[in-house]
Structure 1
Amino acid sequence: MNADTLHVEVHASAFPAQRLDDLRRALAARDLAGKWLYESPAQAQAWLDYHAAWSPSRTDPALAALYGRAAAAALEPAGGRRGLHLVSLGCGGGHKDAALLALPAAQRTGGARHYTPLDISPSLVLTAATLVSATHATIAQPGAAPPPGGPAGPPALRIHPLVADLGHWPALGPWLDAQDGGRVRRLVTCYGLLPNFEPAPLLAWLAGLLRPGDGLLLAANLSPGGHAADAERIVAQYDNPHALRWYTLLLEHVGLPREAARLRVTTAPLRDDGGAWCIEAHAVLRGALEPTLAGQTLHLAPGERWRLFYSNRFTAQALAAALDAAHLALRRHWLHADGEEGIFLCERAPGA
């Protein structure tokens, strides 16, 4: 990277033809939740604004410190590999990545240092990459010889920005090997994905991404008392002016006028015991529409519901069971004092 350019790769899962096919499927299903919320620079900025205003990791110093302790523990040597490759899945704005890479243990890895900010949003990938580069004086790009870290400084950090759609469960192992030579320890962070993916396939994919000695830092939105006890209190994080503006931009991005629908934010249990539940945002159409979207004319009836967003919550016990089912061995965990957010350090279970 220099002052004027940044090398960014795009995985086939995010190529235009694939994206168009995915959008047509989403429109047919009336389900735009997930990746479509981050498509445009305006949407990405709206999410950054919402995250800064409402995410406890940004507004609560105690939770930010908890992430720091978890990161320090995850950087402790494991296995026989030296060096570090931080693979940030759903990198967002990169604030947690920059903080992790600034820790002393991330500076003294005994080998090469790599950083992959990965997201479906090119804007967020660029935001994370430039934020991290601003905190590290020596950045090497592909094909460039790394500048020396200096007698007392860390090795140069190589940044490998990648735009990819994890909803297609891409086989990233060969690509990661090409970036780091397959010789350094990888620390995979998955801070914001679990709430917005179906947990079983996501956790199984993460387990397949890890090699022996690699670590996984997984953050989860928790519900200490389950759906009945917690839903009314927690839903305010998703039903507020910042969130509603973000959802509305999704409607506008796909070509539906904002006045064509009213927004509703609701909750529902995913298990009979309430140990897993979700928050959902829907757009409910006010009247009939026949828009042409993604090259197709849709016939929309009054009262149709379009899902724009969902976020899953778990009790700690329900999440532990999901990790075990995915063959992810839990090594340590950290819970916020209110029990509503947890960070879990995992590795691939032996023999998995």
Structure 2
Amino acid sequence: MSSVVHVAIHSSQFPEQVRRDLEESIRTRRVNHKFHYDSVKQTQKWLALHQAYSPSRTDDNCAATYDLSFEGAARHIDQAAVHLIGLGCGGGQKDTRLLRLLTENGKLVSYTPSDVSSAMVLVARETAVAVVPQTKCYPLVCDLASATDLAEVIDQQGKAEDARLITFFGMVPNFEPGSILPRLAAVLRPKDWLLFSANLAPGSDYLAGVRKILPLYDNELTREWLITFLLDLGVERTDGELKFTIEDDPAGSGLKRVAAYFHFNRDREVGLDQERFVFKQGEAIRLFFSYRHTPERVKKLLGQVGIEVEEQWVANSEEEGVFLCRKL
């Protein structure tokens, strides 16, 4: 195995853009979620959290639900070569299981693991090269939220004649639906397939379902992961308290989300190079949010941007669903 890995870095993650995004996060008191994956330390904390609390790790039926979706997607692909594009690849475990299945079905596979975190992209690549030749793996560091030319960038990955299967696993909860879904739709070509997962609120009572899953967020591992951002800025643990709440989508979609806010109990000044920022006693900064959906809400949101759900698989717990989609 080569000791050198070539990683493409999109301009959305160039230092000057990252600096602007960080300043915006502090000024608005609304942290861009990408800053929770910014360092190797944060990536490792997230991977530990994911391993401990993600239903795809802790629930055998949920893992099997993903496997069923992989088989469903594979059935639809006739071409001999498949380019798998993992948007928000995370650690790459799900993508690698899908790549392995495609390989076992006789497909020639290539892979673009894409994430906002270079550390995460490298973890995904390392996982996938057990299945994909190194020469067919094209790691891409990119901020999906701000990369306005994402469709063109993705078109440059792999071969134009290959079938394209795009995965978007665990991503939609952490973006405002009105901003990320149009961008996702712009990436899709008419013949592409999309495997899209969503965290769901179980049961027939939507609010009760959101309340039921709150412990998946309000726990020590999540708290440690989220507060790392503030600690790295120079905030002290004793400067305030991290609280989780359930709130409505401010855009009025009818969705609800779990949100985490750090409430300051005293003034704290932090520095970013030569610039100083002051958090006043009584202020709060939003560190995180995660939307919860239902299958019906997923179909409606995707339909609004011209994406049609063709098949769906929902775990027995009703806490997670996978949707196979195409562009209308």
TM-score range normalised by the length of the shorter chain: over 0.9
The answer on whether the counterparts of 1:24 and 1:294 sit within 8 Å (CA) in structure 2 is no
The residue aligned with 2:179 is 201
Query: 2: distance between equivalents of 1:300 and 1:179?
Result: 43
Tell which deviates more after alignment, 309-318 or 290-299. Answer: 290-299
1:323 equivalent to 2:323? Answer no
- Asked if structure 2 preserves the Cα contact closer than 8 Å seen for 1:261 and 1:284, the reply is yes
Structure 2 partner of 1:152: none
Q: Deviations over 1:114-148 (max 9, x none)?
A: 10111111111000100111x23x6243xxxxxxx
Q: CA deviation at 1:324?
A: 0.9
Aligned partners of 2:128 and 2:276: how far apart in 1? 43
Tell me the CA shift for residue 293 of structure 1: 2.5
Counterpart residue type for residue 222 of structure 1: L
Find the counterpart in structure 2 of residue 178 from structure 1: 156
User: Which of 247, 267, 270 is the matching residue for 1:288?
Assistant: 267
Distance 2:122 2:252 in 1: 42
CA distance in 2 between counterparts of 1:279 and 1:190 reads 20
Normalising by structure 1, we get a TM-score of 0.88
Alpha-carbon displacement from aligned partner over 1:161-208 (angstroms, at most 9, x marks no partner): 011111104323333333323111111100011000011222211111
4+ runs of 1 displaced by more than 4 Å?
Answer: 104-107, 271-275
Asked if 1:339 is matched to 2:314, the reply is no
Shift of the 287–61 alpha-carbon distance from structure 1 to 2, 3 Å rule, reads same
Which residue is 1:62 aligned to? 61
1:213 aligned partner, one-letter code: K
C-alpha separation in 2, matches of 1:297 and 1:104: 52
- Residue 161 (str. 1) matches residue 139 (str. 2): yes
Question: What letter matches 1:132 in structure 2?
Answer: A
Residue number in structure 2 paired with 1:118: 114
Which of 96, 111, 128 aligns to 1:132? It is 128
**Cα offset for 1:228?**
2.7
Task: Give 5+ residue unaligned stretches, structure 2.
Answer: none
Q: 1:272 to 1:168 in 2, by over 3 A?
A: closer
Alpha-carbon distance between aligned partners in 1 of 2:253 and 2:76, rounded to the nearest angstrom: 38
Aligned to 2:52: 53
- Does the C-alpha gap of structure 1 residues 271 and 245 become closer, same or farther in structure 2, counting only changes over 3 Å? closer
Task: Give 2:182's aligned amino acid.
Answer: A
Q: Which of 85, 93, 101 pairs up with 2:99?
A: 101
Identity %: 34
Q: Post-superposition shift, 1:105?
A: 5.6
State the alpha-carbon separation in 2 of the partners of residues 117 and 273 from structure 1. 33
Whether the 8 Å CA contact 1:276–1:315 is kept in 2: the answer is: no
Counterpart position of 1:41: 40
Gap change, CA 1:274 and 1:179, over 3 Å in 2? closer
Task: Determine whether 1:228 maps to 2:228.
Answer: no
- State the TM-score, normalizing by the size of structure 2: 0.94
Structure 1 position 74, deviation (Å): 1.0
Q: Which runs of 5+ in 1 are unaligned?
A: 142-157
Measured at CA, do residues 33 and 227 of structure 1 come closer, stay the same or move farther in structure 2, by a change above 3 Å? Answer: farther
- Number of residue pairs matched by the alignment: 327
Return the alpha-carbon distance in structure 1 between the equivalents of residues 239 and 147 of structure 2. Answer: 34
RMSD between aligned residues: 2.0
Higher mean alpha-carbon deviation, 166-175 vs 328-337, is at 166-175
2:240 alignment partner, one of 258, 261, 265 = 261
Change in CA separation of 1:161 and 1:106 when aligned onto 2, cut-off 3 Å: farther
State whether structure 2 residue 312 is matched by structure 1 residue 313. Answer: no
Q: Which has the larger radius of gyration?
A: 1
Aligned equivalents of 1:56, 1:48: Cα separation in 2: 13
Amino acid aligned to 2:125: A
* CA displacement at 1:43 relative to structure 2: 0.5
Does the C-alpha gap of structure 1 residues 274 and 311 become closer, same or farther in structure 2, counting only changes over 3 Å?
same
Residue by residue over 1:67-114, the C-alpha shift from the partner in whole angstroms, topping out at 9 and shown as x without a partner, is 0110111122447x54111100111111101111111566522xx521
* Matched residue type, 1:91: C
- CA change 1:140–1:247 in 2 (3 A) is closer
